[in-house]
Amino acid sequence: MTATSYLNSVRASYDAVAVDYARLVGAGLARRPLDRAVLAAFAESLRGDGGRAVADLGCGPGRMTAHLDELGIRAFGVDLSPAMVAVARRSYPGLRFEVGSMAALDVADGVLGGVLAWYSTVHTPPSELPPLFAEFARVLAPGGQVLVAFEVGDERVRLDHAYGHPVELDVYRTPPDLIASLLAGAGLAETARLIREPVDGEPSPQGFLLARGAPPA
Ligand SMILES: C[S@@+](CC[C@H](N)C(=O)[O-])C[C@H]1O[C@@H](n2cnc3c(N)ncnc32)[C@H](O)[C@@H]1O
């Protein structure tokens, strides 16, 4: 698959599932205390970093943007799928959501306090992750922080059905060391990681990796 065709499939698939994804995944965080703990740590360290905005990249229906907002973080969402962005805007009218690709953000250099990529890099082939992480690094202020959530493993899984709809999606389960080294290649040094066992029928262990850019000189 070329870079363009995989993005077209991701966009079309998430456009098809947007409403049902929001309904089925919406309450999932309430049953995942470790995930909430990682997000709380991310939010707490951001609060100490001067209140810069945080981008929730691949925000889907906006549940994580809203969660960051509840944690006192000034967050906005970006997603490839117009239908996902429409759901997010309807669900959280007080927050900002834009259609866009996380590989080419409409954001100036060095302005964000943080970037959250919560299961949104999982459809990107690992070979395509370096330019994406370089884009994260470009928009972050010095010392800015990244949190990536992903499925742990070392395989590509083809989905032809998800959330009650036909889709055409690849999920790349990825070794945490690979995510860490690709982030490091973009100048984002790992600060912590959590690997937890699956819950609620998740198909693999789940990984959470925190990284940060070089601190201000
Ligand atoms: C598994 S969903 C996760 C959504 C949300 N982060 C959540 O946890 O509910 C993956 C989302 O990432 C978006 N996405 C995937 N690749 C993207 C890209 N290159 N740029 C922007 N959004 C992307 C998809 O459209 C989809 O909404």
- Provide DSSP, 136-188: HHHHEEEEEEEEEEEEBSSEEEEEEEETTEEEEEEEEEB-HHHHHHHHHHTT-
Count of Cβ atoms closer than 10 Å to residue 170 Cβ: 16
pLDDT tens readout for residues 72-102: 999 999 999 999 999 999 999 999 999 999 9
SS3 of the chain: helix, strand, coil, percent, to 5? 40, 30, 30
DSSP letter at 208 equals: E
Count of Cβ atoms closer than 10 Å to residue 26 Cβ: 12
**In this structure, is residue 194 part of a structural domain?**
yes
Q: CA dihedral defined by 103, 106, 111, 112, rounded to 10 degrees? A: -60
* Total count of domains within the chain: 1
CATH of the domain at 95: 3.40.50.150
Residue for token pair 């890099």: 121
The runs of H, that is alpha helices, within 26-98 are 33-47, 63-70, 82-91
CA 4 – CA 7 distance, rounded (Å): 5
**In this structure, is residue 134 part of a structural domain?**
yes
**In this structure, is residue 217 part of a structural domain?**
no
Name the residue of 11, 64, 79 to mutate for ligand 1: max ligand atoms within 8 A of Cβ: 79
Phi then psi for 68, rounded to 5 degrees?
-60, -40
Distance 109 CA to ligand 1 centre (A): 22
For the Cβ of 86 lying below 6 angstroms from any atom of ligand 1, the answer is no
- pTM beyond 0.85: the answer is yes
The H or E element containing residue 131 is helix 129-139
- Per the structure, the complete domain to which residue 165 belongs is given by 3-212
- Nearest CA owner, ligand 1 atom 27: 60
Mean pLDDT of the chain: 95
For the Cβ of 119 lying below 6 angstroms from any atom of ligand 1, the answer is yes
Looking at residue 74, what is its pLDDT? 96
pLDDT range class, residue 4, cuts 50, 70, 90: low
Is residue 3 pLDDT above 70, yes or no?
no
pLDDT tens readout for residues 199-209: 999 999 999 99
For residue 184, what are the contacts with CB-CB under 8 A and spacing of at least 6?
Answer: 190, 211
**In this structure, is residue 35 part of a structural domain?**
yes
pLDDT range class, residue 217, cuts 50, 70, 90: confident
Name the residue of 19, 120, 163 to mutate for ligand 1: max ligand atoms within 8 A of Cβ: 120
For residue 139, what are the contacts with CB-CB under 8 A and spacing of at least 6?
Answer: 55, 105, 107, 108, 109, 110, 111, 112, 115
